[in-house]
Structure 1
Amino acid sequence: MKMKRNPITNAVQKALFTGFIASSAFGTVALAQDEDAVEEQGKITVTGSRIKRSDVEGALPITVITREQIELSGESNAADFIRNLTFNSAGSFRPQSGSSAQGEATVSLRGLGSSRTLVLIDNRRLPKSPATGSSQNLSTLPMGAIERIEVLTDGASAVYGSDAIGGVINIITRSDYQGAELMLGAADVSIPSNGGEREEGSVVFGASSDRSSLLAGVSWNDREIVFARDFPWVNPGASVYGNSFTTITDGFDNFDWTSYANGVGCDFPGTGFYTVPNSNSPNGTRCAYDFTLVSADEASTENKSFYAKATHEINDNWELWSNATFSQAESFGRYAPVPDSSYFSVPLTSSSPNNPTNPASPLYDPSLGLDPQSVNWWHRFDALGNRDGTVTTQQLDFLIGTTGQIGNAEVEFGLRHTDNRTSDVGNNYLLRSAAAALIEDGSYNLADPYSSPDNVLNAMKITIFRNSKYDQDELFGSVAFDLFDMDGGPASMYVGAEYRQEKYSDQYDPQSEAGQVGGSAGNSAAGDRDVTSVFFEALFPVLDNLEFNLAGRYDDYSDFGDNFSPKLSARWQPLDNLTVRGSYGQGFRAPTLDILTQKPSFSATSVRDPQSCVAQGQDPGCSLQINDNIVANPSLQPEDSDQFSLGVAYEPVDWFNFTVDYWDIEITNRIRSFGAQTLINNEGNGVSNPPGLGCTRTPTGAIQFCTSGFGNDGTVDTSGVDLNARFTYELFGGNMSSSFQLAHMLDYTIDGGSDLTKSPGLPEQRAVLSNQYSYGDWSLAYNINYIGDQDADSVDSSAPSWTTHDVQLNYHAPWDGRFTVGVRNAGEKFPPINRGAVGSRDYDFNLYDGFGRVTYFRYTQTF
């Protein structure tokens, strides 16, 4: 039976109990609830524990984000919402054009990396992404299916196994809904001048009888592609892959990029080719290419999902339940035309019609004073068209199980099957062998590539594909029972076991795998593993106000070995309104299948390196492309962690409460990714790179090539403090709720080195102040989001603090409809341009966004 209620009153009550979430996904934990509410709620399972309990404030630091709070954030998709958590300290990866992980969105709690943050769906782990093999893709999450999000900011390997080092994000999907709900929404952005528009919607139905219930719904959202040229801060690119040549001495390339005589082969009107000075070339110029004219920064994103939940009481003791979700995420990206060079294959012979040292060549330039000799061409194949990539991920997740009573024990067992597939199709790539031959014999004319016949262009052009999967099959079972009575109540025990089979395959087309495709990156990888786990948890309420929780988990991996993770937590309540809590635990992260099995691959990676820029006669802050060799490491070892936390939750008066939690994490034998820009930054900042990884430079200081990949990187130590505070009071006849959350990082060191806190990309603080005022059928929200500044001693410039303001207005109509209009970043704050960890873009793409003012409208109708 559907219950009628005032939506405003309901929203206020939710805010009083769990706090209000701001646009950056700020959520707080309620410190106290009415005893009747707890009794009505009954015992529940919270993230980080398998034992059901009715305690409002437990031994673990958990932030609960309700559905109402998610809607108040103004975000249209779950990935962006989760990425904006203040606990996502250093930001995280999001869909971006030109990447082999184009459609991915991840979260990285504590700045420890996405592979150290475990994402759960209804207490079971989200499968790893087929496109990465190491992280979980938030882009597949259906926004409309989310009931609440629980964030555990503490290690939990003793409960969930591998990857739960930085914390756990548990997505709880909707259930027990009665009636129907329709939501439609749209949003527009002020930056860039074109693109970035958004649409969203969801439909949910729910019905139940005395013994059965069914909920089903669909959810969708999309965001249009954004091109680099449409940002007001974009600077023209000057890639060396334009239309130039380099000379060779004793088999060594001199990297003296030189344009052809009299501007031939460059400065084509309406294209990205243009001539720039180069003091190192024989004629003082080279032909550059402005890739920003055609490349996209933000890939488009689209998510369509169907989800269903069903339960049936077989009898008074047993219940059968099933969950099913199907989601499809699609992303379209555009990258500049293929860059390539004979440097990676065979130099152009002295007799080629395209060799400028050949007197018979139309490109011959006697003023260079060069005898006929072999040279390397460096070319942008603009005549082939832009590289367009479409990535489609389909995930089918089916879960069925039963829960019942056998005597005084609660028993649960079930099975889960997940099909997780990704396909990637790329158009207008280069078949290297064909291109080299056609350039050598002159069929493809470097002096005027646009005049090349269609049959020549088609002979060089190739469509690439990539098919990936990361499937999971799981069997699980558990039993929960009381052991004996203690002064604070019965001691409880939970024992369970899981068997999980993972099947991973990331298959590139044969030409790409053989290195015959120019302009692509990555290579195939494949592997399977079985994981067998047994675990326990015991709760000992020693006194009415003192309890201990002991948990342990043993995991046996078929490929690298086994691990045991213990954890002890305690909760002491000396006063009715004061809780003191603490925990100590050990965790681990298993080497992922992609790292262990991936084949070597090449990438023309865009980086910023002052030495190379100066060596090429450019400004030290230029962006350039370098040769990047990405390698696998089958000898990686698992990493381990030791974690400690201590906190208090206090409600001195009924209108104010707060929590303060200190956390400390130490990771040993660390596994991390070292990209080319990271390797360069480490060199500049005096930080050692792992053995086998680094950049090789020419005598002039320019990068010759970088070797990037994964490695065990010693020890990482980090600690911090989380503060949550909330005020609720009456104001002018309405209700006011104000919340403040601060995530403060105290230190972050590698191998006992310098503190990296406040270094580029790792702010010391992220905070949110959120306010909601409700009056009658109206509610108004105003939020302030803050990202701290970052200082740099070398390589990257400092980044100032970044503060944005969000406003939302809601009107609850008498026909159970709700109108919502809002603005994110109302002041149109630009991200810090060319400041901080800018990487290959103009700003830190993981930490900030470049959308400017986002204006949105949403209508929700409840039936």
Structure 2
Amino acid sequence: MRKNILLGHIKNLLLGGLFVGTANVAAANTTVQNAIDINPKAYSSMTGTRLKQTEVTTALPVTIYTREDILRSGESNAADFIRNLPINIFGSFRPQSGSSAQSISIVSMKGLGSSRTLVLIDGRRLGKSPSTGSADDLNLLPMAAIERIEVLRDGGAAIYGADALSGVINIITRSEFQGVEIMLGGAEASIPSQGGEREEGSVIFGARSDRSSLLAGVSWNDRELILNKDLPWTHQQFSIFGNNFTTLSGGFDNFDLTAIPGGCEFPETGFNLSYSGQICGYDFDSQAADEASIENKSLFAKASHQITDVWQLSTQVAFRQTESFGQYAPVPGNSVSGSPISANSPNNPTNPNSPLYDASLGLSPQPVNWWHRFDALGNRETTVKNQQLDFTLMLDGHWSGVDWQYGVRHLDNRSADVGRNYVIRSAAEQLIESGDYNLANPYAVSEAVLNALRITLYRESKFDINEYFMGASFDWADLPAGRISTVIGAEYRKEKYLDQYDPQSEAGQVLGSAGNSAGSARTVNAVYFETLVPLFNQLDLRLAARYDDYSIHGDDINSHLSLRYQPLQNLSFRMGYSENSRPPSMDLISQQPTTTTLFARDPQSCIYQGLDPGCSAPFEQVSFANPELTSEESTHAYLGTTFHLKEWFEFNLDVYDLAVTNRIRAFTSQDIINAGISGEPNIPGLGCLRAPTGQIIRCLVGFGNSGRLDVLGADVSMKFKYGLFGGDFSHQLQTSYIHKTSVDKGRNLISNPGLPKARATMNNNYTHGNWQINHLINAIDQQQADSLDSAAPTWVTHDVQFSYHTPWQGVFAVGAQNVGEKMPPIGQGFITSRDYDFNLYNGFGRIVYARYTQTF
């Protein structure tokens, strides 16, 4: 898809912004407040550091979202909550039919892409989706288990290792709850005429004694399928894969599409005639789904026991599962790359003995190609089930003046994908040639013939992690301003990746689908340290470094330096600089070779053949895993300040400068040919082999290292709080802003379609006794037109929630997202196969919801 290509080269490689927030855990109704006020008992360790000291957090650009923030949003799943934050400034992928990643939802901090955003659960990796091998699937996050979400807006590779170039999102699960909590809720979307309904629920149990604690629960939520035809902006589409034939000259197709006589007159189907009745097209939107359904079910438990006065054993177990159903239009296909219909076939309109023969076409008997939509077989249906078993065991204690931690974790990450109503290419060619499959009336074909065409596809994938880790934290020297604190540690991680397609898809024998298996394993050995040095009473220095050794492609060193200066109690400054790296993801280093024949513009090949230099020349292309692919690197610098006046006003500003070098990107044959023509350096591991005459024989393509990305942005947060009318008002403004971003030091691309300059939220809350009213404003900045897409206006929506805390420990909450039922910018901005920018906006309209929570 053009979206994937363009965002792969621009959008997913550019930078967005996120905002600076603050946190005060002591206040139950606080949204995002300054880390300077953190309760050290509740936040013993902050995302972005392993040091258990409050002072270090003020030097980190960390935003914290409490459980109350999540509930106020009205979202029924964590994936949508995270995707709608300003940090996801350019939008990101969400469940959609017709995609190999149909069931996942991702986040792209600073617009760098999901592979450069690290997602953690309680400080450990969520685990890449087996469907992609490079992205973390937010749909696996259990909503009911989340206590808070911490977002580090600095590069975090010096602390957490690979993939943290743009930042880190850490999901902190609940642990302190005691009692029983039951929640049920549901929601309806207004714009789709049907579909999009939502349900959610959870049951949580928590108990604690002097030496032990236990928390366990179950969480579920789901959203129903939405078909394109149920959206008001959907219009009739026209695909040439309807019911047509084309003639050939010298063995090459003439692309002179002509409708099969009588083969387009099927009311209540997607077939339709166009171009003065000459071509039989197909309206794929009449059958395809826009939003795939998604169901999330999770079981989780967390327990701890104080073995001795100084040693504690704890464990976490979770089983997370998502299931998605997608529907796509029936299989399209043609015989251009296969065997044409012979001149004697009953399905050949040029055969005088065929019931399809039409003398008015003026064609002599000859072989023809068919272009057909297999509507009689039914829609393509895909069911994807992802499941994750996560087990962690840790031992924490204090011995000889050192805090020790030892741990082991096992993560089983599985994905199963079943596709129905696909077509076997060889069977289709045989049955069309014999006439057993009648092109003029496929609906009259027997079920036995249809079953001979059908094939059910299966794809199984996994991304497993086994890891062992240990760390030691201690104070080891006294300075006039305090003691130097240090953490040292080591980690061992083994990753196993497999993405296995069924043999027929991999061999290219299935119409409407394709597959290319991949699989590999690697180990990672890491050592790290972090230290906090109190230089003066108002000035702290923090240093961190990490060394990762990969069994497949070498090693990486990541580092971080930050300073905190607090001249006044209510004023602080922070600055930091980090160097981060991201090794090639498992899907890239294990891709199986695929050989195809294609055409590309190459003047040398064309001149040798005596053709115009601008012709498209045929050659062999091999797509493979580049053995010379290496890690990409980034530098991230920030300068920030926090100012607050007691509890009623807070202001945060961070300016950052981020550059990615040696970036990993895909190269096509045309990219390599063009680079050679312009005299650019060769991409290590990739290139085109030419004959002595200059004609291309073969091109090796895939992913390589080349170029850089630069961005300059700012994050702003302001908060006001005051009493009025016997209650409490609070207002929180959060803005992610990008001033400039470029590829290879080219022009500024900000405000191009799909790349808004800013994204913001304004949260207004009023609490009076047991009543609470919340008003959330969401805004996405306008985008200017370019040569491919039109401009998009500023998009603003309003969410409202009313909640009541009952005397019997219950909470009623009702609300609506997008109260004004604002539609996405239809036909504006970055448009691909859908009518609006599917990654940046949604087409749900007004979502009215109700939720009840009872605590015992």
Q: 1:450 corresponds to which residue?
A: 443
Does residue 634 (structure 1) correspond to residue 632 (structure 2)? The answer is no
Q: 2:663 corresponds to which residue?
A: 670
Conserved? CA contact 2:23–2:64, under 8 Å: no
Deviation track 1:154-181 (CA, whole Å, cap 9, x = no partner) reads 1011111110011100000000211111
C-alpha change, 1:185 and 1:689, in structure 2 (3 Å) is farther
How far did 1:254 drift?
2.5
How far did 1:267 drift?
2.6
Q: 1:515 corresponds to which residue?
A: 508
CA distance in 2, matches of 1:708, 1:767: 40
How far did 1:600 drift?
6.1
CA distance in 1, matches of 2:574, 2:383: 48
| Equivalent of residue 841 in structure 1, options 816, 819, 834 | 834
Does residue 366 (structure 1) correspond to residue 359 (structure 2)? The answer is yes
| Equivalent of residue 856 in structure 1, options 844, 849, 852 | 849
- In structure 1, the gaps of 5 or more residues are 1-11, 22-27, 279-283, 604-628, 695-705
Does residue 743 (structure 1) correspond to residue 741 (structure 2)? The answer is no
Q: How does 1:559-598 map to 2 (within 5 A)?
A: 559-598=552-591
Conserved? CA contact 1:272–1:293, under 8 Å: yes
CA distance in 1, matches of 2:809, 2:149: 25
Tell me, what secondary structure is at the counterpart of 2:443?
Answer: helix
How far did 1:373 drift?
2.5
Conserved? CA contact 1:819–1:858, under 8 Å: yes
Q: 2:264 corresponds to which residue?
A: 266
Give the paired residue count.
793
How far did 1:362 drift?
2.1
Tell me, what secondary structure is at the counterpart of 1:144?
Answer: helix
CA distance in 1, matches of 2:835, 2:30: 33
Q: 1:810 corresponds to which residue?
A: 803
Residue identity matched to 2:254: N
Conserved? CA contact 2:46–2:57, under 8 Å: no
Q: How does 1:608-687 map to 2 (within 5 A)?
A: 631-635=623-627, 636-672=629-665
Conserved? CA contact 2:153–2:168, under 8 Å: yes
CA distance in 2, matches of 1:527, 1:250: 45
Q: Percent identity?
A: 54
Cα root mean square deviation, aligned? 2.6
Deviation track 1:372-409 (CA, whole Å, cap 9, x = no partner) reads 32222111000111111110011000000101111111
Q: How does 1:729-768 map to 2 (within 5 A)?
A: 729-768=722-761
Deviation track 1:249-273 (CA, whole Å, cap 9, x = no partner) reads 2333232222123xx1103111100
Q: 1:611 corresponds to which residue?
A: none
How far did 1:475 drift?
0.5
Does residue 112 (structure 1) correspond to residue 112 (structure 2)? The answer is yes
C-alpha change, 1:733 and 1:32, in structure 2 (3 Å) is farther
CA distance in 2, matches of 1:106, 1:200: 20
C-alpha change, 1:633 and 1:563, in structure 2 (3 Å) is same
Tell me, what secondary structure is at the counterpart of 1:661?
Answer: strand
C-alpha change, 1:360 and 1:427, in structure 2 (3 Å) is same
Deviation track 1:753-785 (CA, whole Å, cap 9, x = no partner) reads 221111111110000111000001100001110
Conserved? CA contact 1:31–1:649, under 8 Å: no
Q: 2:127 corresponds to which residue?
A: 127
CA distance in 2, matches of 1:737, 1:762: 31
CA distance in 1, matches of 2:154, 2:97: 34
How far did 1:292 drift?
0.9
Conserved? CA contact 1:357–1:364, under 8 Å: yes
Conserved? CA contact 1:429–1:461, under 8 Å: yes
Residue identity matched to 2:33: V
Higher deviation after alignment, 269-278 or 167-176: 269-278
Does residue 728 (structure 1) correspond to residue 730 (structure 2)? The answer is no
C-alpha change, 1:693 and 1:356, in structure 2 (3 Å) is farther
Conserved? CA contact 1:690–1:711, under 8 Å: no
Q: 2:171 corresponds to which residue?
A: 171
Q: 1:620 corresponds to which residue?
A: none
CA distance in 2, matches of 1:175, 1:462: 48
- In structure 2, the gaps of 5 or more residues are 1-21, 597-620, 688-698
Residue identity matched to 1:58: T
Tell me, what secondary structure is at the counterpart of 2:351?
Answer: coil
Residue identity matched to 1:634: N
Q: 1:504 corresponds to which residue?
A: 497
How far did 1:17 drift?
5.5
Conserved? CA contact 2:133–2:587, under 8 Å: yes
Does residue 329 (structure 1) correspond to residue 326 (structure 2)? The answer is no
Residue identity matched to 2:283: D
Does residue 786 (structure 1) correspond to residue 787 (structure 2)? The answer is no
| Equivalent of residue 275 in structure 2, options 254, 269, 277 | 277
Does residue 160 (structure 1) correspond to residue 160 (structure 2)? The answer is yes
CA distance in 2, matches of 1:56, 1:824: 37
Higher deviation after alignment, 568-577 or 590-599: 590-599
Conserved? CA contact 1:597–1:634, under 8 Å: no
Deviation track 1:812-848 (CA, whole Å, cap 9, x = no partner) reads 1110111000000000010011111121111111111
Tell me, what secondary structure is at the counterpart of 1:447?
Answer: coil
Q: 2:762 corresponds to which residue?
A: 769
How far did 1:20 drift?
5.9
C-alpha change, 1:17 and 1:55, in structure 2 (3 Å) is farther
Q: 2:92 corresponds to which residue?
A: 92
Deviation track 1:37-85 (CA, whole Å, cap 9, x = no partner) reads 846x377110111111123851110000000111001000011111111
Q: How does 1:46-445 map to 2 (within 5 A)?
A: 46-55=46-55, 57-261=57-261, 264-277=262-275, 285-445=278-438
C-alpha change, 1:74 and 1:601, in structure 2 (3 Å) is farther
CA distance in 2, matches of 1:646, 1:13: 19
Residue identity matched to 2:110: R
C-alpha change, 1:56 and 1:154, in structure 2 (3 Å) is closer
Q: 1:478 corresponds to which residue?
A: 471
How far did 1:342 drift?
0.6
CA distance in 2, matches of 1:246, 1:380: 15
Residue identity matched to 1:778: W
Residue identity matched to 2:797: T
| Equivalent of residue 825 in structure 1, options 808, 818, 826 | 818
When normalised by structure 2's length, the TM-score is: 0.89
How far did 1:660 drift?
0.2
CA distance in 1, matches of 2:119, 2:295: 20
Tell me, what secondary structure is at the counterpart of 1:58?
Answer: helix
CA distance in 1, matches of 2:257, 2:784: 35
